[in-house]
Amino acid sequence: MKKYIYILFVMNVLWGCDSYLEEAPSKSTNLPLETIEQLDALLGNYSYFYQDGSRNAVLCTDDWEVSKSLYDGYNGSAYRSMEIAQVSTWDVENTAYDGREYLWSGEYTKIFYANMVLYYLDAVTGSEEQKAELKAEAYLIKAYSYWLLVNNFCLPYDESTKNELGISLKNSVSFEESIARSTLEETYIEIENCLEEALKLKSTIVKGGTFRPWRGNSSAAKAFAARYYLSVNNYTKALQYANAALGEYSELFDYNSEMAFYESTVTVNNEEVEVNYPDTYNFTTSDILSYKEFYYARVSYHGYAWYVPSQTLMGLYDKDTDLRYKYNFVENYSYTRDRTGISYPGYVAMGMYNIPSGPTTSEMILIKAEAMARTGNWQDAMNVLEQLRIKRIDSNKYVELTANSQEEAVKLIMKERRIERPFVFTWYDYRRYNTNEVDYDDVNLSREFYPYNSSTVLNGEPLVTYELKKGDRKWARPIPNTEVESSLGEIKQNTY
């Protein structure tokens, strides 16, 4: 069988390479995959890999504000859409059919590209060392995507749920391969198998003098392993891999010296209103991909361009000392989305759409501290935590945190995780808190909001209470119904 690709979107991947790629294949209407450089170019096309886009991580926790007052005072679609109302109240009847759940198809597209590299490796020219690196990188992509999928569309994993539905495990480029969902236990076994292969990466994060976190590398694999093992409450391995990643690369962004404001105004009712962004608001794609804390350059993408912080979230920050509040919470941000509505802040990290979601050095410090604290070494864990805080707290007002017990230390570290990266960590953290060995960190969520039907928010009616409790089957978000239907029933929808 000749190794030719005629599928248009695959051609676009190969053609869309830019200066980040070391070598791109020549254009052809029938491009044969014959060389290792072509497969390298496929994985090097960062535009197909660097965005995640979990609407559940953005909307489904108490990082996101859901309130009558904000809904009533705001006129724009960036807050008043049916998608936001339904997803943020954990609806399962309508959200499977809204056509706006892109994570499933997006991550399976990445898995397809990874499988294509694995399929063609034996057929192309190139050294065994080059092939081994691309193989390991492809498995890192698969492990990462499987992890995102299982933590969005499946129940939290523990002994009681291991026989529940997992995700579809794809190991080839054949359209004849079964897409039936595995069990949750089989899914996690497959993630670990992929991770084991990914940990064979030998490429360093700095290659030829260039910082390259958009590509698979040894530090990225170790950092993702730390995240993975924390997510399944294996603190020993989480600590092992966090230490390993930090041992290879440990650069931190210092809010005291490397952050500034980008001053701007908007016109609201014929008056100029200040909206002062952090200078990271102007990050280009190149700036995002070269952000020095990244081990693996991935960002969470929110298409409504307004991360609406809850009053609860904002209340967690010491507003006088924490530079993360000073720079990342932009006053009057709502006016950029609706020039006639009310003033409300927005959370801004990298532009209006993106928040870093890939493994970072700051995350590794937090994983290291939490793993130490949960395994009893909580006094030293607090010292580790300060390695991050000293880069985030105003140096003129800096005071170390103190804890008097293991539980207090763990809770302080949990808080730091949340305020370090809201709209990214929180959803995944809540899932693992509800399946770990203690109950003092259990999470039950509730919101008061208007009732709604499939097409309209009934804002003339009394508020109702929406809940997402520990053990609720709604922790597994609905798979897009288009995927269920196109599979002819092979993909089973979650039951509630």
Q: Is residue 20 assigned to a domain?
A: no
Sign of torsion over alpha carbons 22, 23, 24, 30: negative
Q: Range of 325's domain?
A: 213-423
Q: Is residue 27 assigned to a domain?
A: no
pLDDT, tens digit, 9 for 90 and up, residues 360-412: 999 999 999 999 999 999 999 999 999 999 999 999 999 999 999 999 999 99
List, as one string, the DSSP characters of 175-192: TTS---EEEHHHHHHHHH
Q: Is residue 225 assigned to a domain?
A: yes
347-356 average pLDDT score: 96
Q: Would you place residue 414 in the very low, low, confident or very high pLDDT band (cuts 50, 70, 90)?
A: very high
Q: Is the pLDDT of residue 14 over 60?
A: no
Q: Is residue 143 assigned to a domain?
A: no
Q: What is the pLDDT of residue 20?
A: 28
Contact 263, 322 (CB under 8 A): no
pLDDT, tens digit, 9 for 90 and up, residues 116-157: 999 999 999 999 999 999 999 999 999 999 999 999 999 999
Q: Is residue 316 assigned to a domain?
A: yes
Cα separation values, 456 from 84, 303, 367, 416, 452, Å: 12, 21, 42, 38, 6
Q: Is residue 255 assigned to a domain?
A: yes
Top pLDDT among 3 and 496 is at: 496
166-170 average pLDDT score: 98
Q: Would you place residue 170 in the very low, low, confident or very high pLDDT band (cuts 50, 70, 90)?
A: very high
The length of the chain, given as a count of residues: 496
Tokens of 99: 């056509």
Mean model confidence pLDDT for the chain: 93
Q: What is the pLDDT of residue 31?
A: 61
Q: Is the pLDDT of residue 35 over 90?
A: yes
Q: What is the pLDDT of residue 446?
A: 98
The CATH number of residue 263's host domain is 1.25.40.390
Q: Is residue 407 assigned to a domain?
A: yes
Overall domain count for the chain: 1
Cα separation values, 89 from 99, 110, 122, 361, 450, Å: 17, 29, 48, 33, 10
Q: Is residue 429 assigned to a domain?
A: no
- pTM comes to 0.94
Contact 6, 31 (CB under 8 A): no
Q: Is the pLDDT of residue 12 over 60?
A: no
